[in-house]
Amino acid sequence: MQIEQPFELVLFGGLGDLALRKLFPALYLLESDNRLPKGRIIAIGRSEVAQAELLKIIKQAVKVQDEDVWQKFQQRLTYVSIDVYQSDDFKNLVSELEPTCPNRLFYLATASSLYAEIVKNLHANQLIHAPSKVVLEKPIGHDLTSAKAINKAVAEYFDESQIYRIDHYLGKETVQNLMVLRFANSIFESQWNQKYIDHIQISISESLGVEKRAGFYEQVGAFRDMMQNHLLQLLCIVAMEPPSKMEPDEVRDEKVKVIKALRAIEGKDIHDKVIRGQYGEGVSEGRPVPRYRDEDGVNNQSQTETFVAMKVEIENWRWAGVPFYLRTGKRLAERACEIVVQFKEIPHSIFDMQHKETMANKLIFRLQPDEGIRLQLCEKKLGSGMNVRPMTLSLNPDNPSQVGASQYAGAKKSERDFENKMTRVPEAYERLLFDALASNPTLFLRDDELMQAWRWVDPILAAWQESESAPEPYTSGTWGPAAATLLLAKDGRLWNENN
């Protein structure tokens, strides 16, 4: 897929944390691969920034490896100072844009509370036209009510087909590979159900604390920041039915069905099936770290959760009786994101050394820090006797050249050559920015998907708001509060933590 027409990318929050850590580096990588057509990138911020200073900041952020690529990329860059609450400031943008640009994308890398004001002032200054699109960053809203209000405000000026709600985890190569592995291989899809799968774990762990994001995090917490969007989206990809074809709405229809089928967690179930924690002091990555309440910018009486674990159930035929365990947290033992599909134990082992509990088959999708897929099987141990040991088949997308020639059997020569020339896996934001510019919404959330997710999580958030109980403390550098271990242990299971 190619971007056919010249583009204008208008980036609100243009020198913010997200833009400098993710968006500009992703755009630079697209430039280095010659995937961007003629076009301009306009960064928007409140402060006054000279062109030379802009280029210095962005050059440092993208970590330039090739001066020729940088020379091309910097010619696209412009900065415009705008206070989003001042409609007159948007006139500064009018003169920068081509009135008839066929591919204009507004990217709102700001707090979602600013979305309504931004789109209103874009409209007031006649900057939105038929080909325009808008990308909205998560979390969109604070609860169902605020999400509805934001959605309604944006929908006044943009049609649903023009709105791209981004979740960068859906842009990861391994998530794409998960869909292909399921729907292109009968060996897996035929066993992707309650008859063969015991349970599924989805974990996103971070070793870092809140760092410089305490102001944001105090308002959001781990549940809104990660569980309501990233983990639910991964759950949808794992659990959805095969779409009739790989078209945007067909894929998103199936994801919505999963969220609608989630069993409600209300009343006593919130206490039994949802664990929240807050990190205390400890040792992380070899150095002592403070507790969350002692971080700069955090209220010393804060009840904000930095860890959440949940037991989730899907009420449909495919997943009846199969629990999904989700968890996310800061200051945990390591940075990782993985999906573990645990198959059922064999009914009877004829091998004395095979411990069914520890040697059951697992299919592990690792999204970070080292993307790849591993399948845990059993094999005979070398030597005399019939002793059994676990072994792992591994596929690492970072090293396609290590895959055997049989991997490409039947592929066209041009396809094999392309795979062999690949030196890296595309970054998630790189893929999604390209898709947005190419008007491909498959990996972006639709409005009904967003609202259904908020409907499901709202009772949990409301219960926490009314409760006087505090998050359970846990030591930094561990895998979270003891209650999270108990969540699985009372079902006779354990978290997958032997990486």
Task: Report yes or no on 494 lying in a domain.
Answer: no
Kindly indicate the confidence band of residue 364, based on its pLDDT and cuts at 50, 70 and 90: very high
The per-residue pLDDT for 499 is 56
Tell me the C-alpha distance between 440 and 233, whole Å: 18
The per-residue pLDDT for 355 is 60
Q: Which of 142, 199, 230, 271 is catalytic?
A: 230
230 is catalytic: yes
The partner residues of 159 in beta bridges, in order of sequence, read: none
16 by Cβ neighbours in 10 Å (0-12 / 13-18 / 19+) ranks as middle
The per-residue pLDDT for 498 is 65
The per-residue pLDDT for 377 is 87
Residue range 180-209: average pLDDT? 94
191 and 309 together in one domain: yes
Number of domains into which the chain is organized: 2
The per-residue pLDDT for 354 is 55
116 and 178 together in one domain: no
Which of 79-83, 94-98, 238-242, 367-371 is predicted with the least confidence, judged by mean pLDDT? 367-371
Kindly indicate the confidence band of residue 416, based on its pLDDT and cuts at 50, 70 and 90: very low
User: Long-range contact list for 97-101, CB < 8 A, 24+ apart?
Assistant: 97/8, 97/10, 97/42, 97/127, 98/8, 99/129, 101/6, 101/7, 101/8, 101/131
Kindly indicate the confidence band of residue 410, based on its pLDDT and cuts at 50, 70 and 90: very low
Tell me the C-alpha distance between 50 and 309, whole Å: 46
pLDDT at residue 358 above 90? no
50 and 183 together in one domain: no
CA 397, chain centre distance (Å)? 18
List phi, psi (to 5°) of 138: -85, 165
Q: What is the pLDDT of residues 240-274, one digit of tens each?
A: 999 999 999 999 999 999 999 999 999 999 999 99
222 and 369 together in one domain: yes
SS3 (DSSP) at 314: strand
Last residue of a domain, one of 165, 200, 219: 165
Residue 174, both tokens: 């391994």
- Which uninterrupted H or E stretch holds 437? helix 428-437
The per-residue pLDDT for 158 is 97
Tell me the C-alpha distance between 230 and 204, whole Å: 9
Which of 246-260, 301-315, 320-334, 461-475 is predicted with the least confidence, judged by mean pLDDT? 461-475
The per-residue pLDDT for 396 is 67
Structural domain that includes position 264: 170-489
Last residue of a domain, one of 119, 147, 165: 165
Detail the DSSP E strand segments found in 285-384. Answer: 287-289, 307-313, 323-329, 336-343, 362-368, 372-380
SS3 (DSSP) at 340: strand
Kindly indicate the confidence band of residue 390, based on its pLDDT and cuts at 50, 70 and 90: confident
pLDDT at residue 300 above 70? yes
The CATH number covering residue 59 comes to 3.40.50.720
Task: Report yes or no on 497 lying in a domain.
Answer: no
Which of 47-61, 325-339, 365-379, 430-444 is predicted with the least confidence, judged by mean pLDDT? 365-379
The per-residue pLDDT for 293 is 95
- Of residues 46 and 468, the one with the higher pLDDT is 46
Which of 76-80, 276-280, 351-355, 428-432 is predicted with the least confidence, judged by mean pLDDT? 351-355
147 and 262 together in one domain: no
Residue entry with tokens 């409005």: 447
Q: What is the pLDDT of residues 196-242, one digit of tens each?
A: 999 999 999 999 999 888 888 999 999 999 999 999 999 999 999 99
Kindly indicate the confidence band of residue 356, based on its pLDDT and cuts at 50, 70 and 90: low
210 and 280 together in one domain: yes
Tell me the C-alpha distance between 2 and 19, whole Å: 23
Residue 471, both tokens: 């998050």
Tell me the C-alpha distance between 270 and 276, whole Å: 10
122 and 266 together in one domain: no
Q: What is the pLDDT of residues 57-79, one digit of tens each?
A: 999 999 998 999 999 999 999 99
pLDDT at residue 327 above 80? yes
Residue range 158-174: average pLDDT? 94
The per-residue pLDDT for 426 is 85
Helix extents (H) in 207-319: 214-222, 232-239, 248-261, 268-273
Last residue of a domain, one of 100, 133, 165: 165
399 and 465 together in one domain: yes
- Please answer whether residues 133 and 10 qualify as being in contact, where contact means their C-beta atoms are separated by less than 8 angstroms: no
Task: Report yes or no on 148 lying in a domain.
Answer: yes
The CATH number covering residue 385 comes to 3.30.360.10
Kindly indicate the confidence band of residue 420, based on its pLDDT and cuts at 50, 70 and 90: very low
Task: Report yes or no on 86 lying in a domain.
Answer: yes
Task: Report yes or no on 498 lying in a domain.
Answer: no
State the helix-helix crossing angle for 67-74 and 24-32, rounded to 10 degrees. 120
Task: Report yes or no on 248 lying in a domain.
Answer: yes
444 and 315 together in one domain: yes
13 and 75 together in one domain: yes
Task: Report yes or no on 285 lying in a domain.
Answer: yes
With the CA atoms of 258, 263, 264 and 265 taken in that order, what torsion angle do they form, in degrees rounded to the nearest 10? -120
Task: Report yes or no on 499 lying in a domain.
Answer: no
201 and 135 together in one domain: no
With the CA atoms of 248, 251, 256 and 262 taken in that order, what torsion angle do they form, in degrees rounded to the nearest 10? -160
Residue range 156-176: average pLDDT? 93
216 and 124 together in one domain: no
Indicate the average pLDDT of the chain: 90
Which of 83-87, 155-159, 419-423, 441-445 is predicted with the least confidence, judged by mean pLDDT? 419-423
Residue 334, both tokens: 């390591």
